[in-house]
Amino acid sequence: MTPFAYDRAGSSADAIRLAQATAATHYLGGGTNLVDLMREGVATPDRLVDVTGLSAAIEPTPDGLRIDAAVRNTALASDPRVRRDYPLLARAIVAGASAQIRNMATVGGNLLQRTRCAYFYDDAAACNKRVPGAGCDAVDGFNRIHAILGASPACVATHPSDMAVAMAALNAVVTIDGPDGSRDVPLTDFHRLPGGTPEIETVLARGELITAVTLPPLGFGARSTYRKVRDRASYAFALVSVAAAVDVQGGTVADVRLALGGVAHKPWRAFAAEAALRGQPATAASFRAAAEAELADAVPLRDNGFKIELAKRTIVAVLEELTGEAA
Ligand code: SF4
């Protein structure tokens, strides 16, 4: 592991000041991904600024439930307000990792975890995300877990977070503090698609720090869930996941939120499916039509064509579960 300096921040302003010291400074949350990346030589920070001592509150605000970035995943998933009003989020977090990892991982760190593309972690492989311009061994390699939506010839990786998929469905807002002040970014705009610069994964500028995520109120949030389809029942990343909330009035879909995981470089908000569903009867046929609309532009790689049908079927199954509609 490359030697690095370590500082522990006492406030977000302190953290941002400390992070100005070098261009290769990283913020450190629970370290459940970053430390692995450092051990593998994929991440080589020369300074870590530990932000786990910052505020870790979960508080109601006029804009919704504000979750500080240092809140541990376990605390968020077990919060009674989250379990009551946003059960899809609690389920996504529990599905995301082992209890030990959830106890360490923070909300901010979860949003910033890196892809689990095996070529990214293998310094003998070509990877544009690790070494810009090097090429991408996944495009013609073993790409079973890779993206079917929004990918580019430069990178076909997927984002690994379950929590972020649920937050995308909830219209969460990310608060970012930095050297030039504070700003709010919708979570659906926080992560980037790869384009020609897959090494740039978020809209964060140098030195900026995630300080909170706010969940706006969602009147039908109690009727929501998260389903993760994976190769084994635990400790595996999603092949496909679906976060959904639905409001059915008189047999018609009045409103719906849908987001997909395991299919793209970012949590994938299923706007096309949502538009196709609103105002339609809450039937299996409507659910299937919405799923078809969302996956219409999916592009399979050599090994992951199954994900397209898997995503469609999982969308339908989740909506059937939430509405009581049988296929
Ligand atoms: Fe690297 Fe992305 Fe290609 Fe994986 S898919 S090897 S992360 S460039």
pLDDT value at 284 more than 90: yes
Q: Across residues 232-246, what is the average pLDDT?
A: 91
The structural domains of the chain, ordered by start, are 5-52 (3.30.43.10), 224-323 (3.30.390.50)
Mutate to test the pocket of ligand 1, among 40, 128, 192, 299 (most ligand atoms within 8 A of CB): 128
Task: Read off the pTM.
Answer: 0.96
Mean pLDDT, residues 113-141 taken together:
96
How close is the Cα of 253 to the center of ligand 1, in Å?
A: 39
113-127, 168-182, 221-235, 264-278: the lowest-pLDDT one: 221-235
Position 327 pLDDT exceeds 80: no
Distance CA 287, CA 311 (A): 12
What is the structure's pLDDT at 1? 79
Both structure tokens of 296? 């219409």
CB-based burial, 299-326: b 16+ in 10 Å, e otherwise: eebeebeebbebbbbbbbbbbbebbebe
Instruction: Report which ligand 1 atom has the smallest distance to the Cα of 119.
Output: 6
Alpha carbon nearest to ligand 1 atom 7, residue = 120
Q: What is the pLDDT of residues 8-55, one digit of tens each?
A: 999 999 999 999 988 899 999 999 999 999 999 999 999 999 999 999
Could you tell me the two tokens for 293? 């609309």
> Ligand 1: residues whose CB is within 6 Å?
115, 117, 119-120, 127-129, 136-138, 155-157, 198
Q: What pLDDT band is residue 235 in, cutting at 50, 70 and 90?
A: confident
Q: Is pLDDT at 325 greater than 80 in this prediction? A: no
pLDDT value at position 217?
97
- Averaged pLDDT score across all residues of the chain: 96
**pLDDT of 200-218, one tens digit each?**
999 999 999 999 999 999 9
Best residue for ligand 1 mutational test, from 33, 136, 191 (most atoms within 8 Å of Cβ): 136
CB-based contacts of 24, cutoff 8 Å, min separation 6: 44, 45, 46, 47
Atom of ligand 1 nearest to the CA of 156: 5
pLDDT at 291 over 80: yes
As a three-state string, the secondary structure of the chain is CCCCEEEECCCHHHHHHHHCCCCCEEEECCCCCHHHHHHCCCCCCCEEEECCCCCCCEEEECCEEEEECCCEHHHHHHCHHHHHHCHHHHHHHHHHCCHHHHHHCEHHHHHCCCCCCHHHHCCCCCECCCCCCCCECCCCCCCCCCCCCCCECCECCCCCCCHHHHHHHCCCEEEEEECCEEEEEEHHHHECCCCCCCCCCECCCCCCEEEEEEECCCCCCCCEEEEEECCCCCCCCCCEEEEEEEEEECCEEEEEEEEEECCCCCCEECHHHHHHHCCCECCHHHHHHHHHHHCCCCCCCCCCCHHHHHHHHHHHHHHHHHHCCCC
What percent of the chain stands above pLDDT 70?
A: 99
Mutate to test the pocket of ligand 1, among 42, 122, 129 (most ligand atoms within 8 A of CB): 129
**pLDDT higher than threshold 70 for residue 326:** no
